[in-house]
A = this chain, B = another copy of it.
């Protein structure tokens, strides 16, 4: 199991005319949580891309439970339950204080710079072995 928490503060730019965060603007927060997790385990996403490896989003599921508003502080709790093999699935729970405001899952794979599917790079596999050995 791999966990991480990222704090986001709602920008005015992210709200819409309903006075709440536009539903599409949660996806960059999930991205920030992934970037943060990779930093924490010592494998920054920037480094992965420098190897010519990309991890596009294949699928997204988001369930909006409560709206958020300008200046709200939101905790994005990220969880990878199982050691990823060819595909990677990531769960998110977003909280504002005690309120759960969203649950989401994203699915990812690996591709090269031409957009072709590839196997995860060696550096990724080693890191996953390491962090999943340590944690469970």
Contact = CB atoms under 8 A, between A and B. Distances in A.
A56 B68 CA distance: 13
Interface of A: 11-20, 22-25, 27-28, 31-32, 35, 44-46, 49, 54, 56-64, 67, 69-71, 115
Contacts of A69: 17
A67 B134 CA distance: 36
Nearest to A30: B24
A72 to B, nearest CB: 9
Most chain B CB inside 10 Å of its own CB: which residue of A11, A17, A20, A22:
A17
B31 A44 contact: no
Contacts of A27: 13, 23-24, 27
